[in-house]
Structure 1
């Protein structure tokens, strides 16, 4: 009988341990426990276990394992196997992935066609685009030792302040928490954009560092902000935060069986539907809670809407010039030309979404079922 050398035996033990650990995937999410996004990802974990008969499980770590800025390098380095990334925190690593989400503010142009379904339309289009039409997006993920599996998207972004915002003139000088494209909007309407993370919003409002939040209304509940706002302008600036891919460590992905990778695709369609649906439902609940706390909630004044539309027209060209200069992305216009008909398709589909189950079926049929798990991520 052949005797294994000590080094071979140790290697065998390490290999077996790695396989065993891979069966329970560590999922990092920067949201706090009991928030709607965490609950959705816990449902995702349950779905993975259901689809694999318990052979593959996911353990969700809310805010404790990795913060939002830490998630991308943490998944890259294997601190977490999976995570909800916010690519906007990493402009140098993800300039291609950030380009299309940076135009989300243009969703205001679709008006009532997608009102209440903004996340479903835009995130679905971005998912389809990323899987099948953006090799540069997946190359960026590969460079970070990650594989794209789905997207999480908020509901529409609104202006939520602790000061009256009855007209465009009232925005002058206000300090607004505003990421990426919304920072450009803030500057355009005369405000002062402040770059802070979601987790810092409560402290920023409480300590007077911020006058306003540019964020999804659902965040009022997710981050316990309801009592800190007095005026909410519904409808502006618009757009959704869809630059939040759910990624998996590339080594972990490749170590899974084809059946397990297929289960993650199926669970991805499920969680993406649940996430967008949860944010859309939470928006109405959050606005009701803000009203109950005494906040004024009203459609944005026409002067702010007009200023926003003016910004939308001018911003795309400026943004494309910026990414060409800063990140050497010369084909940004072509990328948007590719994305636009996909978005138009999903705007049409979103009109028929009357339940989270309908949305999940659309996602599975139109996108996730078409991903070849034997080539994707390899």
Structure 2
């Protein structure tokens, strides 16, 4: 018996000394491998996770919609077709209604660094309803990113409010009703369909980051960019992982993800700023026009921005979201908090990442 017990102990010690199981995780994105988020955010984060897990975690990325478009990626992660993906909540609103309600307030997003900070703190620490809807979809959300302030990009010159009115426009999230209120005609398509729709004249304009001139090649079909920013979209759950896959990871492997999320967000929001500058400079150098639409447009848009919070609450209640007003109010408080944090960071990416780590990820 002693020999058997000794052998059992020895076997247990040998097993405990074995390294954690190596795993290759698939990752899906409908955007191209050269897209700002992938090139300067997701791919570098994958490399850091691989290093921090001592090679136990590796990735096989599928970009450009190879494993699903923006409407399919959540379901593909949920059903284990993919291990992980980037998920945009507005395209799967019926599955993530609370998250989509929050991100529909993109008109208030004057600073994408603020909105990314507020969204991560909301989703990970202050929104039980958000966690419930992710659980219902069998996924875990690790981080959210925000794109730089969006602008109207048109295939033909418009110039001012009168010139923009009656034009067909792709306006994401909650911007659709707002651009309609100032006289434009919103068209419901995804960003993956945007280039072709502009090229074929199915769209006159699109609302997006100026970096999209390069990342979606809109420079090839656009003649004009309007200077007035319309807000920032902050509903991209860029690390969405199948819950069963996540639970099967060792604590050390999970930490390799958790320890890199603040850096991932900082990389993305700063990358958008840099890519914006490069894209708009090249656009102008090649004959594209950057146009001030005039005071009438500024005033009309300001009215819509003031109305967006009340409209969001009203729409959320109509969609059956319990405590819609309380959820929106909580988020607005976090926007105020992160406005102060970003101001204190004084443009420092390092200070911003540190704040994300201490205010959000260290508290999970």
Given the two structures, how large is their TM-score scaled by the length of structure 2? 0.90
Q: CA deviation at 1:338?
A: 1.0
CA RMSD of aligned residues (A): 1.6
Q: CA deviation at 1:208?
A: 0.8
SS at match of 1:208: coil
1:240 corresponds in structure 2 to: 232
1:29 equivalenced with 2:22 (yes/no): no
1:253 corresponds in structure 2 to: 246
- Paired positions, count: 341
2:266 corresponds in structure 1 to: 273
Q: CA deviation at 1:132?
A: 0.8
Which is further off, 188-197 or 133-142? 188-197
Would you say the 8 A contact 1:227–1:293 is kept in 2? no
Q: For 2:229 and 2:348, locate their aligned partners in 1 and report how far apart those are by CA, in whole Å.
A: 26
2:9 corresponds in structure 1 to: none
344, 347, 355: which one pairs with 1:354?
Answer: 347
Give structure 1 regions of 4+ aligned residues with deviation exceeding 6 angstroms.
none
Superposed CA deviations along residues 103-161 of structure 1, whole A, max 9, x for unmatched, are: 120134xxxxxxxxx22110111100111110000100000000110012111110111
Q: CA deviation at 1:198?
A: 1.2
Would you say the 8 A contact 2:78–2:242 is kept in 1? yes
SS at match of 2:27: strand
Q: For 1:169 and 1:232, locate their aligned partners in 2 and report how far apart those are by CA, in whole Å.
A: 16
SS at match of 1:242: coil
Q: CA deviation at 1:73?
A: 0.3
Would you say the 8 A contact 2:170–2:188 is kept in 1? yes
1:12 corresponds in structure 2 to: none
2:13 corresponds in structure 1 to: none
Would you say the 8 A contact 2:313–2:328 is kept in 1? no
Q: For 2:276 and 2:146, locate their aligned partners in 1 and report how far apart those are by CA, in whole Å.
A: 13
Superposed CA deviations along residues 214-258 of structure 1, whole A, max 9, x for unmatched, are: 111111111111131111112232x21111112110001111111
Q: Where do 5+ consecutive residues of structure 1 fail to align?
A: 1-18, 109-117, 372-378
SS at match of 1:235: coil
Q: For 1:316 and 1:215, locate their aligned partners in 2 and report how far apart those are by CA, in whole Å.
A: 21
SS at match of 1:85: strand
Given the two structures, how large is their TM-score scaled by the length of structure 1? 0.86
1:77 corresponds in structure 2 to: 79
Q: CA deviation at 1:34?
A: 2.0
1:54 equivalenced with 2:78 (yes/no): no
Q: CA deviation at 1:59?
A: 2.5
2:359 corresponds in structure 1 to: 366
Would you say the 8 A contact 2:160–2:292 is kept in 1? no
Q: CA deviation at 1:192?
A: 0.8
